[in-house]
């Protein structure tokens, strides 16, 4: 990615205004036409959101988007859409024992609503606050039950089973963090109390130690900062076996959305560590050592992203995609979503941009030069995403950010024309994270309260 220091956050004033106008239009279209009885909207085909019956991991993004829209604009009908749908439709996600996505679905809905009450943005009765709190306590505990022990600790296993650690789940750990901060624990046989923050920290450490590479010779493809989508463990003895991938090309290349999840999850966790008493997790690791490991991972992944992304910061779907070599010197020009060889993934950029800004903010004291670089990258990425050809200006298209990719290996993404790659479509997670990015930048620019998921817990 090529950085341009002349592009500042002030350049985003008009793009943000246009973004939120279009965002509201898309939310209303989906609310009026999409039948949630058929499942959750996952991605668009020919401009219309459709389901994909793998898991319903995107429903919280749908309703959470309305809550973020209200947060950014103050338009109360969006608050009503988000609140009503959360109350009526999100309960099954609280007790869903088959997924690792609780932090996505439930912190994005119940968490955002409680956050707005705590920030004084909306009124909420004591009973409404308790309703959101109990939901957040439950979701963190349920997610924490998906636990595999390994010699160095453990991890929350993916929907593939107890052998499987997904890099995505680092961001879903926020469900455990919120639940813990609300005073909750997981209780097991004989009323044994299990610390949710300790499980969250152990999972983050497993991700940092196994899903992220540091150039130390673990395998022939140990490039510093790259990530593997999935890590496989032997469930009999808990030992590491190999990297793998579900949505990337291979376990030995970097699926860029997985890389983005790592950057975002690390950034938002680093910046809230001071709010969690060290004594709550000191049995696992000291705060000093935790910060050392997490900051090393945050810097490694951020540097890898910047080095392996085209000049505008929009990545192709996998750094090892088999046809990238046919595109020549593709890293030294802007990404081309309309090319004939490999698709870009704008959703990875939406997720990574937020993470880069948060890591950059966190580094301001310890490494201000690097911190400024990451902030600049996130701001520039927003400038690209919030303009064409990525911002969806077609009034009939339900997506907000175009050129998102879901599952290239499975061939699930819509290809609109022969001889071209999948392009022109959106995803619910990409649109939601674009809104989170926009809200974060808007609050920073307007010198308003900093947007953090942990704002849902009173200080």
- The CATH number of the domain holding residue 267 is 1.50.10.10
Whether residue 433 is predicted with pLDDT greater than 80 in this model: the reply is: yes
**Residue 290 sits in which domain range?**
9-456
**Would you say 305 and 267 are in contact if contact means Cβ atoms under 8 Å apart?**
no
Judge whether 422 and 365 are in contact, CB under 8 Å. no
CA distance 212 to 206: 9
Q: Is residue 382 part of a domain?
A: yes
Say if 184 falls within a structural domain: yes
CB 259 within 8 A of CB 227: yes
* Cα–Cα distance for residue pair 22/398, rounded to 1 Å: 10
Percent of the chain residues topping a pLDDT of 70: 100
Mean pLDDT of 85-101: 96
pLDDT of res. 18: 98
pLDDT at 398 over 90: yes
- Quick one: pLDDT at residue 459? 79
Classify residue 2: in a domain, yes or no.
no
Q: Is the pLDDT of residue 402 over 80?
A: yes
Q: How far apart are CA 69 and CA 154, in angstroms?
A: 37
* 257-298 pLDDT tens trace: 999 999 999 999 999 999 999 999 999 999 999 999 999 999
Of 428 and 52, the structure prediction assigns the larger pLDDT to: 428
Could you tell me the end-to-end alpha-carbon distance of the chain, in angstroms, rounded to an integer? 38
Joined tokens for residue 412 = 């699930």
3-class SS of residue 224: coil
Query: Would you say residue 412 has pLDDT above 90?
Result: yes
pLDDT in tens, 231-243: 999 999 999 999 9
Mean pLDDT, range 37-56, rounded to an integer: 91
Kindly state the average pLDDT of the residues 15-42. 96
- Contact of 81 with 31, CB cutoff 8 Å: yes
Number of domains in the chain: 1
Band of residue 455 on the pLDDT scale cut at 50, 70, 90: very high
pLDDT at residue 328, rounded to an integer? 97
- Nearest residue to 254 via CA among 323, 174, 315: 315
Q: What tens digit of pLDDT does each residue of 152-194 get? A: 999 999 999 999 999 999 999 999 999 999 999 999 999 999 9
Element (H, E) at 271: none
Q: Do residues 61 and 111 make contact, with C-beta atoms less than 8 angstroms apart?
A: no
pLDDT of residue 248: 97
Give the residue ranges of DSSP H helices in 183-233: 196-206
Q: Kindly state the average pLDDT of the residues 328-333.
A: 98
Q: Check whether 54 has a pLDDT greater than 80.
A: no
Question: Which long-range contacts link 289-297 to residues 24+ away (Cβ below 8 Å)?
Answer: 290/201, 290/205, 293/205, 293/208, 293/209, 294/204, 294/208, 294/266, 294/269, 294/270, 295/270, 295/363, 295/366, 296/208, 296/214, 297/208, 297/212, 297/262, 297/266
113-118 long-range Cβ contacts below 8 angstroms, 24+ apart: 113/67, 113/82, 113/83, 113/86, 114/456, 115/453, 115/455, 115/456, 116/67, 116/70, 116/71, 116/79, 118/455, 118/456, 118/457, 118/458
Q: Which single residue is written with the structure tokens 């995403």?
A: 385
Helix, strand, coil tally for the chain in percent (to 5): 50, 10, 40
Closest by Cα among 448, 310, 442 to 382? 442
Q: For the beta carbon of residue 77, count every other beta carbon within 10 angstroms.
A: 14
Does the CA dihedral 25-27-30-32 come out positive or negative? negative
User: How far is the C-alpha of 444 from the C-alpha of 447, rounded, in Å?
Assistant: 5
Task: Kindly provide the b/e burial profile for residues 408-426, where b requires at least 16 CB atoms within 10 angstroms of the residue's own CB.
Answer: beeebbeeeeeeebbbbbb
Alpha carbons 150 and 387: distance in angstroms, whole number: 45
pLDDT surpasses 90 at 229:
yes
Q: Does residue 3 lie within any of the structural domains?
A: no
The whole-number pLDDT of residue 302 equals 98
Distance from C-alpha of 280 to C-alpha of 266, rounded to nearest angstrom: 19
C-beta atoms surrounding 369 within 10 Å: 7
335-360 average pLDDT score: 98
Beta bridge partners of 242: 232
d(CA 420, CA 414): 11
Q: What is the pLDDT of residue 53?
A: 75
pLDDT value at position 379? Answer: 98
Residue 85 pLDDT exceeds 80: yes
* Mean pLDDT calculated for residue range 399-414: 97
Cα separation, 244 vs 265, in Å, equals: 20
* Of 135, 278, 138, 142, residue with least CA distance to 201: 278
| Sequence-ordered list of residues with C-beta below 8 angstroms from that of 237, at least 6 positions apart, any chain | none
Q: What angle do CA 162, 168, 169 make, to 5 degrees?
A: 55
* Residue where the block lists tokens 């920073």: 444
pLDDT given at position 55: 79
């Amino acid at each position: 990615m090529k950085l341009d220091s002349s592009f500042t956050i002030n350049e985003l004033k008009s793009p943000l205004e246009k973004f939120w106008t279009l965002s509201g239009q898309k939310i209303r279209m989906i609310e009026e036409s999409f039948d949630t009885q058929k499942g959750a909207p996952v991605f668009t085909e020919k401009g219309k959101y459709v389901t994909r019956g793998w898991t319903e991991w995107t429903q919280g993004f749908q309703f959470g988007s309305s809550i973020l829209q209200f947060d950014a604009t103050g338009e109360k009908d969006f608050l009503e859409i988000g609140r009503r749908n959360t109350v009526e439709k999100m309960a099954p996600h609280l007790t869903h024992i088959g997924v690792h996505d609780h932090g996505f679905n439930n912190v994005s809905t119940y968490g955002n609503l409680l956050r707005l009450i705590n920030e004084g943005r909306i009124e909420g009765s004591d009973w409404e606050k308790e309703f959101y709190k109990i939901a957040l306590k439950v979701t963190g505990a349920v997610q924490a039950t998906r636990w595999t022990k390994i010699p160095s600790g453990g991890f929350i296993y993916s929907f593939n089973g107890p052998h499987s650690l997904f890099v995505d789940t680092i961001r879903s750990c926020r469900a455990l963090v919120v639940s813990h901060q609300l005073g909750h624990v997981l209780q097991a046989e004989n009323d044994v109390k299990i610390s949710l923050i300790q499980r969250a920290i152990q999972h983050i450490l497993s991700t940092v130690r196994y899903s992220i590479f540091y150039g130390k010779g673990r395998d022939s493809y140990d490039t510093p900062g790259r990530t593997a989508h999935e890590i496989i463990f032997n469930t009999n003895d808990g030992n590491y076996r190999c990297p793998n991938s579900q949505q990337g090309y291979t376990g030995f290349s970097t699926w860029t959305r997985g890389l983005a999840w790592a950057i975002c999850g690390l950034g938002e966790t680093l910046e809230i560590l001071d709010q969690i008493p060290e004594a709550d997790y000191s049995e696992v690791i000291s705060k000093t050592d935790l910060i050392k490991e997490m900051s090393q991972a945050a810097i490694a992944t951020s540097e890898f992203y910047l080095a392996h992304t085209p000049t505008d910061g929009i990545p192709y779907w996998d750094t090892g995609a088999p046809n990238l070599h046919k595109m020549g010197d593709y890293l030294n020009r802007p990404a081309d979503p309309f090319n004939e060889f490999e698709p870009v993934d704008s959703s990875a950029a939406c997720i990574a941009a937020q993470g880069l800004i948060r890591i950059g903010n966190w580094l301001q004291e310890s490494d201000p030069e690097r911190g400024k670089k990451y902030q600049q990258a996130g701001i520039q990425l927003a400038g690209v995403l919030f303009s064409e050809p990525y911002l969806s200006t077609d009034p009939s298209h339900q997506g907000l950010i175009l050129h998102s990719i879901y599952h290239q290996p499975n061939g699930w993404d819509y290809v609109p024309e022969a001889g071209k790659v999948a392009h022109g479509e959106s995803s619910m997670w990409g649109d939601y994270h674009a809104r989170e990015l926009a809200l974060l930048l808007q609050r920073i620019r307007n010198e308003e309260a900093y947007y953090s998921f942990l704002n849902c817990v009173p200080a």
